[in-house]
Amino acid sequence: MQQGSSDKRPPVSVIILTWNALPLLQRYLPSVAASSYDNLEIILADNASSDGSADWVSQSFPEVRIIRHQENYGFCRGNNLAIAEAQGDYVVLLNNDVEVDRDWLQPLVAQMLSDDRVAAVQPKILKSGEPLSFEYAGAAGGFIDRWGFPFARGRLFETIEKDEGQYDVAADIFWATGAAVMLRATVLKDVGLLDEQFFMHMEEIDLCWRMKRRGHRIVCEPASAVYHLGGASLPSSSSRKAYYNFRNNLLTLYKNVSPSHWRRVIIVRILLDTVAAMRAVGLGRADEARAIWRAHRDAARMRERYKADRPTTESGVEVYGGSVVIDYFLRGRRKFMDLPSSTFSATR
């Protein structure tokens, strides 16, 4: 890695947000520091850690620029503050539990250079320690169904596919995971940054949806692969994670669909989310069920602040026109390739 190189390659800033995760930094940061890209700035954005993370990075990797936040701002504001100080034409958000190959950045930059409409590029996300399996957070790129349920190539709900090359062609997707995504800095100035009201979870889907509403493309570039541990911030069973996922998902829908579509969506979502809460109770996870209902309550309270900026008509953005919930749980479609391709032509 060469910080601030005069190389003709466009400058890239990699932002790693962290909070009290020194063991993860010790395990994963060395691979990022060993990146072969010649015009690279690495930024550690520290959310007021108390475990000496920033000091360790400063001593071990003096080439890494450190931004010390005054408090734990969460994922959204913590990254936004760092993005505002980044120097790169392209900004990469990278979780602190991601290992990368030396040449991981080059294919992402090449994809950006291929088309100015590309606003975000995601590498293939594989499981750290199990490199033949996709990782839950983003797999080979995300999509969303007409009712707002996200899923990914390589992952439907809890079914995670093996990587057998089935998604090894670059493809347009609906959303790119915030665990590892390259963003075009000029587009961020146009559409805005991560929504800080979200705090954490679903913020990348909202950002990508706003990008697509402006006519930009979101791409998965499988020539680049990274290895994500996952669950380092909040375990999948956490009721807090369920709360943010459901609340922010509802807010993402409200912000990005027309009022007429929202009125249809919210009725179906109340029914489907009631089923989800009942399922959680049946599995002995009453805290998760309560979190789902708190999410609906708080999303309803927060909607007012977004009313003025909502689209008044359908934006023409393509979503999966079916219900991935029904496809998965009732029709037994467990893999992305099991979903009917014709259903991806619906617009919202």
* pLDDT level of residue 344 (50, 70, 90 thresholds): confident
Q: Give one DSSP letter per residue of 124-188, joined into a string.
A: EEEETTEEEEE-TTTTT-EEEBTTS-EEETTEETTEE-B-SSTT-S-EE-SB--TTEEEEEHHHH
Give 37-85 pLDDT, tens digit per residue: 999 999 999 999 999 999 999 999 999 999 999 999 999 999 999 999 9
Per-residue pLDDT at 7: 57
Q: Which residues contact 92 (CB under 8 A, 6 or more apart)?
A: 12, 13, 14, 15, 105, 108, 180, 181, 182, 183
- 1-48 pLDDT tens trace: 545 444 589 999 999 999 999 999 999 999 999 999 999 999 999 999
If DSSP codes are grouped into helix, strand and coil, which group holds residue 68? Answer: strand
Residue 235 binned pLDDT confidence (cut-offs 50, 70, 90): low
pTM of the model: 0.94
**pLDDT value of residue 124:** 99
Specify the pLDDT at position 232.
58
Rounded to the nearest 10 degrees, how much is the dihedral formed by the CA atoms of 114, 216, 196, 87? 30
Distance CA 315, CA 95 (A): 31
pLDDT recorded at residue 141? 98
Q: Which class is 12-228 in CATH?
A: alpha beta
Tokens of 329: 């749980």
Domain ranges of the chain: 12-228, 239-347
Give percent of the chain above pLDDT 90. Answer: 91
